Amino acid sequence: MAKHKFYHFLGCIIPHRYPSIEKAARIVFEDLGLELLDMEGASCCPAPGVFGSFDRVTWATIAARNLTIAEAGGHPITTGCNGCFASLWDANHELKHDEELMKTVNDNLAEINREFKGSIEVTHYVDALYSIAGLEKIRKHVTRPLTGVRMALHPGCHWMRPAALKQKDNSERPHIFRELCETSGATYVPYKDELICCGAGGAVRTADVKVALDFTKQKFNSLLEAGGADIIVTPCPFCELQLDLGQVEIKKHFDLDYQFDILHVVELLALAFGHEPEEFGLSTHLQYMQRKSEPNWERLGLKT
């Protein structure tokens, strides 16, 4: 049976800050019989909230250029970043439904001998794993269930929203991401502020890191009020950066010490599939590098 193929859009944060996510994705997708194709020549998505707010045409043109790479090969795009997904999905949708924008963008693309046709779809890892691979198949690949590991979730903002357009899940009562993560065998821990922003989005992290960290602290405190968790799982590397490195920054700015291990969903599944953390570089997460420490292997359900 032929593999289901996706063009793999890495974006910026994964290769520059969290290469462990790319490696884990390649491991998990390969295990499940899904093929990730390199997108040669891909650029920044570009960032949806900031870039798109200031210059819609330039944003759409850059995003469309990325889309034409996948169009040329005839396979959908998948990405493990909520922001990249939002930018590429939104641009794909808007260009297909706005003839004037599409004409303007294609006039720009003509200067580099490209044309947006609207012939492919954009998916998130969560979509590809949940809908294409399927939960039943994923469960069959779990050889090391993370039994006893308390798992909180941070779905992030851009994968599901705007819900009326994306129709991925109920953005107020989401279940798809939770069900996918629960295949790992870890125990889901609900908490009050699960659905609020991590704090980094909309360039808040760049403009005022302390304001961004206030959001992060609120999430952490809410989780502690719910009894705490061993790990927090997210589908977004930018959220992962804020929750991961953010713990080091909170210690620096506020002298508060949080100790959560942060995993991307594909890192979680790679562990549950029996792969060792060294295989995909889990110890290269930013908080471990900054603290010159290693993950709490026992807390992750692994042998110490």
The pLDDT tens digits for 2-16 are: 679 999 999 999 999
- HSE-CB at 243 with a 13 A cutoff on CA atoms is 30
Give pTM, 2 decimals.
Answer: 0.96
Q: What is the pLDDT of residue 200?
A: 87
Q: Please list, in sequence order, all residues whose beta carbon lies within 8 angstroms of the beta carbon of residue 71, skipping any fewer than 6 positions away.
A: 116, 117, 119, 120
Q: What is the pLDDT of residue 161?
A: 72
Q: Average pLDDT, whole number, for the chain?
A: 93
Q: In what order do the strands lie in the sheet with 4-9?
A: 34-38, 4-9, 77-79, 122-124
Determine which of 99-103, 138-142, 153-157 has the lowest per-residue pLDDT on average. Answer: 153-157
Contact (CB, 8 A) for 25 and 80: yes
Mutual angle of helices 99-109 and 82-97, in 10-degree steps: 110
What are the structural domains, with CATH classification, of the chain? 4-125 (1.20.1050.140), 144-291 (3.40.50.11810)
- The pLDDT tens digits for 193-231 are 999 999 988 778 888 899 999 999 999 999 999 999 999
Whether the pLDDT of residue 68 is over 80: the answer is yes
In the chain, what is the straight-line distance between the N-terminal and C-terminal CA atoms, in Å? 39
Whether the pLDDT of residue 304 is over 70: the answer is no
